[in-house]
């Protein structure tokens, strides 16, 4: 096993473990901490793929930005301990059935696409910085879709501010 | 697999050594920054500061560390133990991991990442979790309020700091920390002169981001005891403190690399100023001489010995610096050793500025802090980025002389800044009815 593989399984294992613990912990703050762990491990996998820009963007946006807001909100909402104990998942059998069907589908898809697991040897990473490449793709090849997406986000932002203002 | 690992370690021997050196030296450095802060504070308040432990209190940081290590470690009864344990670790790990990309010299750097600055910003932005989680897990009102204030403050000022960094990046045209320094050598100017507004925004924003006075609302002792670390004691508290000072040295390192020429000596391209390379040796020699001169004047025998030992240590450093300066230009050791001296000198000057500000300005009120951030600094930082971008376009596409382009856009930015301040004053002055309620 090469060092790259060891790191891949290390990060992959942490990501899966973090994701599982995120949905099974009862305390929402603990869940958030495990979600952060999973996101960081994903960032590590990006780094293994020599995608430094994505690695940094993943940490800045998801961990440093979104998760801070998550925890901020969770902290302010004082969840009653008793309420946490209440089971709100009553449809256990339906859920189990659906999960089995979904699992079968995923397994079938994997089985049918198994030829794709044998990857061709990787091309040597480009010597040009990742940041420059992404910048060129975003601002030259896909300029219009990028601008449309940013206008959409801007509209959402202004809408959120307006809705927050109306209440007070 | 083991062979792989050994090969890997041999191939990356120097980065590993640098990493170990940084992790080992940083706590000591942080301790001495604390001592420096106490001494500067004492000087500004016409006192002596710590004088008892070691000559002139020089061993105070070590005594403090030992004391904190031996103090009782208290966990509040209703605290969330697991997160209470985790929070200080996040704080200090985030601050320390960022040092991987800091160029202390042309060779003394763990890794010259091609997204170096982005990496540092990313890792530093995780430090806020240590504060939020620590405040929440303590299960105390003071801690929670401190954590809320801190996260609101850091989120608000991160935007301004980010745009201030972008204004420097536009000039450098790269994210790699080494290449940012090289860009300043090639353009023959520190970026502080090309982007003075950006530097100012970064200075204010970095004080707020490290939660220092006058923006130290999260730990305002008159209101919140000690903010998010109220419930921490002993070594965990020390770890928080270490994280805070490591973050402070870190933001100074970014400022030095991006705006103040990094590890280069002043005027690196002017050959008749080459004697400046011997300045580090001369300065440290002077310090050593002062130590030896003061040694016999210490009150106690042990302090005389310690002072002489200090002098000997500084003399050793002076010898190394002199030896480095006498090496031929092409040797990497020369640039590495002298670069480290200039880098640390600049970092400590920046930190001195932090302290000066701390002991000069009174603490802001929280609404004032937020208003300064959202109404003045963030709009100004965006205008500044647009201004620098315009200047670069004017210089590159329209072939204007660079200095006139830069001064024009800086003047416009300053005018807009004055207008923003004017608007803000009008909005808050009681005469106009004010928005204050």
Q: In terms of domains, do A143 and A75 share one?
A: no
Query: Domain for residue A110, yes or no?
Result: no
- Same domain membership, residue A134 and residue A79: no
Among A30, A60, A87, the domain-final residue is A87
The answer to whether residue A47 sits within a structural domain is: yes
The answer to whether residue A111 sits within a structural domain is no
pLDDT of A16 reads: 93
Which residue in the set A1, A53, A69 is minimally distant from B1, CB to CB?
A1
Identify whether A15 is part of a domain: yes
Residues A83 and A144 in one domain: no
Select the residue from B115, B158, B173 to test the A interface by mutation, using most A Cβ atoms within 10 A.
B115
- DSSP letters, B264-283, are PPSSTT-GGGGGGGGHHHHH
Residue A165's domain spans which residues? 129-168
pLDDT at B181: 85
Residues A5 and A81 in one domain: yes
Q: Identify the helix (H) or strand (E) that includes residue B267.
A: none
pLDDT in tens, A31-78: 888 998 999 999 988 888 878 888 888 888 888 878 887 877 777 776
Within a domain: A115: no
- Chain A residues lying within 8 Å of B137, measured CB to CB: 29
How many angstroms away from the CA of A3 is the closest CA of chain B?
Answer: 7
- Asked whether residue A77 falls in the same domain as residue A141, the answer is no
Burial class of residue B412, CB neighbours in 10 A (0-12, 13-18, 19+): middle
Domain end call among A30, A53, A87: A87
Most A-contacting residue of B87, B114, B141 (CB-CB within 10 A), to test interface: B114
pLDDT of residue A104: 95
Average pLDDT, chain B: 82
Number of H helices, E strands in chain A: 8, 0
Total domains, chain A: 2
ipTM, 2 decimals?
A: 0.77
Place of tokens 């016409």: B46
Is B136 within 8 Å of A1 when comparing Cβ atoms? no
Q: Kindly report the pTM of this predicted structure.
A: 0.83
Distance CA B380, CA B255 (A): 18
CA-CA distance, B79 to B386, in Å (whole number)?
Answer: 48
A122 domain residue, yes or no? no
Question: Are A82 and A134 in the same domain?
Answer: no
CB atoms within 10 A of CB B409: 22
Task: Return the top range by mean pLDDT from B171-175, B252-256, B390-394.
Answer: B252-256
CATH number at residue A61: 1.20.120.1200
Assess whether pLDDT exceeds 70 at residue A84. Answer: no
Token pair 């008793």: residue: A82
Q: Would you say residue A119 lies in a domain?
A: no
Q: Tokens 């706590």 label which residue?
A: B27
For B142-180, write each residue's pLDDT tens digit: 888 888 888 888 888 888 898 999 988 888 888 888 888
Q: Is pLDDT of B430 > 90?
A: no
Q: Do A29 and B136 touch (CB under 8 A)?
A: yes
Task: Flag if A30 and B83 touch (Cβ within 8 Å).
Answer: yes
Looking at the fold, whether A70 and A145 belong to one and the same domain comes out as no
Tell which of A32, A53, A87 closes a domain. Answer: A87
Q: Which residues neighbour B417 within 8 Å (Cβ) at sequence distance 6 or greater?
A: B197, B376, B380, B383
Contact between residue B321 and residue B281 where contact means Cβ atoms under 8 Å apart: yes
Q: What phi and psi, each to the nearest 5 degrees, are found at residue A113?
A: -100, 20
The pLDDT of B346-362, averaged and rounded, is: 88
**Which of A111-115, A117-121, B49-53 has the least mean pLDDT?**
A117-121
Same domain, A4 and A79: yes
Nearest to B115 by CA among B177, B165, B183: B177
Residues of B in contact with A2 (CB under 8 A): 4
Let me know whether A73 and A146 are in one domain.
no
Please choose, from the candidates A66, A18, A6, the residue with its C-alpha nearest in 3D space to the C-alpha of residue A42: A18
Same domain, A72 and A143: no
For B122, the closest of A29, A64, A71 (CB atoms) is A64
Do A80 and A137 fall into the same domain?
Answer: no
Contact B115 A129 (CB under 8 A): yes
On whether residue A95 sits in a domain, the answer given is no
Backbone dihedral angles phi then psi of residue B114, each to the nearest 5 degrees: -85, 0
Residues A80 and A134 in one domain: no
């Amino acid at each position: 096993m090469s060092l790259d593989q060891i790191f891949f399984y290390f990060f992959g294992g942490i990501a899966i473990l973090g994701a599982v613990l995120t949905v099974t912990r009862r305390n929402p703050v603990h869940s958030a901490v495990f979600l952060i762990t999973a996101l960081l491990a994903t960032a590590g996998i990006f780094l293994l793929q020599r995608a430094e820009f994505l690695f940094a963007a993943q940490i800045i946006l998801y961990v440093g930005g979104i998760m801070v807001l998550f925890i901020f909100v969770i902290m302010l909402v004082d969840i009653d301990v008793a309420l946490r104990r209440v089971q709100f998942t009553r449809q256990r059998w339906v859920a189990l059935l659906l999960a089995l069907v979904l699992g079968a589908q995923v397994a079938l898809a994997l089985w049918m696409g198994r030829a794709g697991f044998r990857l061709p040897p990787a091309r040597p990473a480009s010597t040009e910085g990742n940041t420059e490449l992404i910048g060129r793709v975003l601002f030259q090849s896909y300029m219009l879709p990028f601008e449309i997406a940013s206008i959409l986000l801007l509209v959402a932002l202004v809408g959120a501010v307006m809705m927050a203002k109306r209440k007070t | 697999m083991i062979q792989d690992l050994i090969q890997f370690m041999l191939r990356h021997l120097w980065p590993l050594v640098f990493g170990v050196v940084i992790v080992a030296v940083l706590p000591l450095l942080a301790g001495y920054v604390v001592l420096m802060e106490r001494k500067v504070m004492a000087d500004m308040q016409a006192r002596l500061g710590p004088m008892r432990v070691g000559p002139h209190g020089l061993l105070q940081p070590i005594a403090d560390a030992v004391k904190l290590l031996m103090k009782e470690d208290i966990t509040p009864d209703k605290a969330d133990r697991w997160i209470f344990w985790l929070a200080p670790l996040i704080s200090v790990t985030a601050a320390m991991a960022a040092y991987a990309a800091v160029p202390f010299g042309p060779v003394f750097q763990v890794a010259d990442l091609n997204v170096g600055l982005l990496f540092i910003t990313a890792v530093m932005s995780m430090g806020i979790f240590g504060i939020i989680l620590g405040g929440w897990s303590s299960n105390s009102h003071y801690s929670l309020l401190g954590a809320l204030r801190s996260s609101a403050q850091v989120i608000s000022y991160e935007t301004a700091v980010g745009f201030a960094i972008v204004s420097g990046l536009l000039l450098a045209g790269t994210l790699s920390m080494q290449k940012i320094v090289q860009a300043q050598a090639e353009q023959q100017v520190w970026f502080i002169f090309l982007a003075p507004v950006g530097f100012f925004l970064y200075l204010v924003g970095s004080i707020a981001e490290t939660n220092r006075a006058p923006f130290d609302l999260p730990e305002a002792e008159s209101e919140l005891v000690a903010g998010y670390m109220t419930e921490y004691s002993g070594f965990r508290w020390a770890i928080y403190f270490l994280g805070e000072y490591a973050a402070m040295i870190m933001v100074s390192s970014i400022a030095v690399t991006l705006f103040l020429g990094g590890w280069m000596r002043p005027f690196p391209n002017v050959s008749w100023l080459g004697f400046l390379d011997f300045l580090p040796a001369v300065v440290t020699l002077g310090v050593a001489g002062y130590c030896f001169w003061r040694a016999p004047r210490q009150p106690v025998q042990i302090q005389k010995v310690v002072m002489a030992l200090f002098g000997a240590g500084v003399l050793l450093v002076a010898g190394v610096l002199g030896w480095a300066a006498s090496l031929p230009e092409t040797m990497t050791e020369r640039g590495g050793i002298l670069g480290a001296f200039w880098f640390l000198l600049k970092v400590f000057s920046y930190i001195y500025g932090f302290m000066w500000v701390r002991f000069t300005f009174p603490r802001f009120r929280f609404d004032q802090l937020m208003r300064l951030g959202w109404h003045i600094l963030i709009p100004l930082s965006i205008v500044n980025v647009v201004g620098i971008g315009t200047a670069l376009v004017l210089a590159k596409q329209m072939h204007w002389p660079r200095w006139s382009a830069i001064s024009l856009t800086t003047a416009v930015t300053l005018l807009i800044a004055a207008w923003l301040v004017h608007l803000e004053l009008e909005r808050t002055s009681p005469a106009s009815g004010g928005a204050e309620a």
